[in-house]
Chain A
Amino acid sequence: EAGVAQSPRYKIIEKRQSVAFWCNPISGHATLYWYQQILGQGPKLLIQFQNNGVVDDSQLPKDRFSAERLKGVDSTLKIQPAKLEDSAVYLCASSLGRPGNEQFFGPGTRLTVL
């Protein structure tokens, strides 16, 4: 089966600019996750969707980050405006949707903010 797809794979922007990341989960997976992984740290969950509803965005900096999952399939994560500390790998993952289900990860998008 096809895995989780993400684009772009790499992005370089200047601070205060905006950026958007796209994720296409595995077909049939109800739950979609966005993680931020800063160099040297483990992935931190930013937001979790169940179908097109948000179930956890407790660690999403809502003043600059936003995410949506229209129609309960693809998702976009946006940063506006970006700061230097947003430099990280942004990982998308999906799962079938029951608590504790295995997450399948995409390749990630490496963001560099100059």
Chain B
Amino acid sequence: AQRVTQPEKLLSVFKGAPVELKCNYSYSGSPELFWYVQYSRQRLQLLLRHISRESIKGFTADLNKGETSFHLKKPFAQEEDSAMYYCAPPPSGGYQKVTFGTGTKLQVIP
């Protein structure tokens, strides 16, 4: 089974401060990982995926195979970043027992 863990349930930062949301994974093979975000009263939506190595809304995430981590980072937090963030492996077919991380609530304090 592909497992991801998010150790922090809640992360509070001040506006303008750096943000790091932690995600660790534990499965063999070449991992593919995603970050999903859910803003208040909105649907769960993709934020970014590690394959594309893109920056979305100022967020980046680097896959660190040595530390088995895929932390989400942003240098300067904004109030509109307040949301639930989930780290997730992709369901790509086959019996993989996919479960998202438990999620981290990011609270940006004005």
Contacts and interface: CB of A to CB of B under 8 A. Distances in A.
A50 interface: yes
A3 B91 CA distance: 20
Given A99-B92, A100-B49, A100-B90, A106 B43 contact: yes
A50 B92 CA distance: 10
Contacts, number: 67
Nearest to A105: B44
B98 A56 contact: yes
Interface in B68-109: 86, 88, 90-103
Interface residues of B, number: 25
B93 A48 contact: yes
Size category of the binding interface on chain A: 20 to 34
What's the dominant secondary structure at chain A's contact region?
loop
A8 to B, nearest CB: 16
Contacts of A100: 32, 49, 51, 90, 92
A56 B96 contact: yes
Given A102-B46, A105-B43, A42 B99 contact: yes
B91 A33 contact: yes
